């Protein structure tokens, strides 16, 4: 064992002979002539590094066997690490400074340890990053919950818009018509379970042309060919039929009981969008409106119309206008607009829609189903449509007709019907059409500077 600060004693080696003891630590050692010092030693530093190698140490020449005075030779190009079993002294503080031991460092082992630590750190860092990203993704996609109310019951009261729509929609149909020159879409509703459907004359008219066809589509997607039973251009009404039975039938109300402000719901296929429901109120009654579509060849109809602000658009024609009880009170027929759109087509709803009162439509439909044609009330006169004064002036009187029998003459001006003022010829026609043949009306007639009351019994058109 070597005590720190002492000089190790050398034991004789049988192979090499006795070894001379080294000089005491700190003593000067003569420089080997084989390794001259290229520069003088720096002050304060030892002049030599003494290495006592073990025989066979790499980088050190073995002493010649049997040469006791052989001087160890240090290979300056070899690894400077001190070989096991040798002693090296390096004084940084001069010959009299305390001597210190030198720790041995294994560089390859340190490199391996550092690599392992770096690998472990990388793995731990990567795993931590993965878990953080996983938590962030989970928070973003899987665990965020926004407040929301429950769906609740899907049932609605029968007098709500949803309840009305649910009850009426199964009886409403979409009607597609076409001929070699045109095609169009309208609406209608079932009035008898054996396939009878009520719609507008201007909806059905294209199918009545040579080569015309009609297809009726129900809310459940079933489609059937439709045939025209009869039309009445004077009221803009038509009845068509499909070969089906057991159909849901719309409930017909009574238009005489309608009041301004009542709930109004329009159902149909505006712009081909089947089953569209809009709502509003009854805006006015007894609006004199002319309806029909000259583009389809349909004649103008004079309607004592129900006005509504429920949205009605092209394609709604022929569909039902229903009240707050889900009863049909009118047949949607016309709208007022601000003119054609920029594309030249008819513009949409501006909140002025008009429907034929169901009481008139019912009477016409019953006649069309029974006979294929219908009648409307007349008084047997022709009116001067160019008259600009107040009232409707008679231009001609049919001999033997109701007007002739009542004593009306050419030039007479009718200013009121049953006490309601008449502004022009259109209002007179509408007032008469709102009645049925056989009704008696009281006209207020002016002429020759006087005004008289004349009773006229309406007759049926032939």
- Residues with a catalytic annotation lie at 202, 236, 317
| CA–CA–CA angle 149, 152, 157 (5° rounding) | 130
For residue 120, the Cα-to-chain-centroid distance in whole angstroms is 51
Residue ranges in 49-181 assigned as alpha helix (H): 107-137, 161-168
What is the spatial distance between Cα 308 and Cα 452, in angstroms, rounded to a whole number? 36
Residue (of 355, 360, 358, 397) closest to 378 by Cα position? 397
CB 293 within 8 A of CB 317: no
The residues, ordered by sequence, that sit 6+ positions from 436 with a Cβ below 8 Å of its Cβ are 363, 377, 458
How is 408-442 classified by DSSP, letter by letter? --TT-EEEEETTEE--SHHHHHHHHHTS-TT-EEE
Q: Which residues pair with 335 in a beta bridge?
A: 353
How many CA atoms does the CB half-sphere of 39 hold within 13 Å?
4
- Unique residue bearing structure tokens 């309607």: 303
E strand residue ranges, 70-212: 73-74, 172-179, 182-192, 196-199
Q: What's the token pair of residue 452?
A: 């008289």
What is the spatial distance between Cα 55 and Cα 325, in angstroms, rounded to a whole number? 120
What is the spatial distance between Cα 246 and Cα 102, in angstroms, rounded to a whole number? 111
* CB atoms near residue 458 (< 10 Å): 20
What is the spatial distance between Cα 300 and Cα 234, in angstroms, rounded to a whole number? 7
């Amino acid at each position: 064992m070597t005590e720190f600060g002492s000089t190790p004693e050398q034991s004789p080696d049988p192979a090499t002979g006795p070894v001379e003891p080294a000089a005491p630590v700190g003593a000067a050692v003569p420089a080997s002539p084989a390794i001259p010092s290229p520069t003088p030693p720096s002050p304060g530093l030892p002049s030599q590094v003494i290495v006592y190698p073990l025989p066979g140490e790499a980088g050190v020449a073995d002493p010649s066997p049997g040469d006791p005075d052989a001087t160890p030779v240090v290979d300056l190009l070899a690894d400077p690490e001190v070989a096991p079993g040798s002693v090296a002294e390096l004084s940084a503080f001069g010959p009299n400074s305390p001597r210190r031991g030198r720790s041995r460092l294994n560089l390859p082992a340190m490199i391996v340890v550092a690599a392992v630590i770096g690998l472990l750190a990388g793995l731990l860092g990567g795993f931590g990053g993965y878990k953080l990203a996983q938590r962030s993704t989970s928070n973003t996609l899987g665990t965020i919950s926004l407040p929301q109310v429950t769906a609740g019951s899907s049932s609605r009261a029968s007098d709500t818009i949803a309840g009305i729509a649910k009850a009426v929609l199964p009886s409403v149909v979409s009607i597609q018509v076409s001929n070699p020159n045109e095609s169009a879409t309208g609406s209608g509703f079932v009035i008898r379970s054996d396939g009878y459907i009520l719609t507008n004359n201007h909806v059905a008219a294209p199918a009545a042309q040579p080569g015309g066809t009609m297809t009726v589509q129900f809310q459940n997607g079933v489609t059937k060919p439709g045939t025209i039973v009869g039309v009445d251009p004077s009221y803009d009404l038509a009845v068509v039929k499909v070969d089906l039975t057991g159909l849901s039938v719309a409930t017909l109300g009574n238009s005489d009981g309608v009041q301004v402000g009542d709930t109004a719901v329009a159902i149909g296929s505006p712009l081909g969008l089947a089953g569209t429901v809009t709502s509003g109120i009854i805006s006015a009654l007894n609006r004199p409106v002319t309806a029909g579509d000259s583009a389809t060849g349909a004649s103008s109809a004079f309607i004592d119309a129900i006005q509504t602000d429920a949205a009605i658009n092209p394609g709604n024609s022929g569909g039902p206008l229903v009240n707050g009880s889900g009863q049909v009170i009118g047949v949607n027929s016309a709208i007022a607009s601000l003119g054609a759109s920029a594309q030249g087509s008819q513009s949409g709803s501006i909140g002025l829609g008009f429907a034929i009162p169901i009481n008139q439509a019912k009477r016409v439909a019953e006649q069309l189903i029974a006979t294929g044609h219908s009648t409307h009330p007349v008084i047997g006169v022709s009116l001067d449509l160019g008259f600009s004064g107040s009232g409707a002036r008679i231009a001609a009187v049919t001999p033997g007709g109701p007007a002739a029998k009542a004593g009306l003459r050419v030039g007479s001006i009718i200013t009121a019907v049953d006490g309601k003022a008449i502004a022009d010829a259109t209002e007179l026609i509408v007032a008469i059409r709102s009645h049925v043949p056989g009704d008696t009306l009281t006209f207020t007639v002016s002429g020759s500077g006087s005004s008289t009351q004349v009773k006229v019994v309406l007759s049926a058109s032939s």
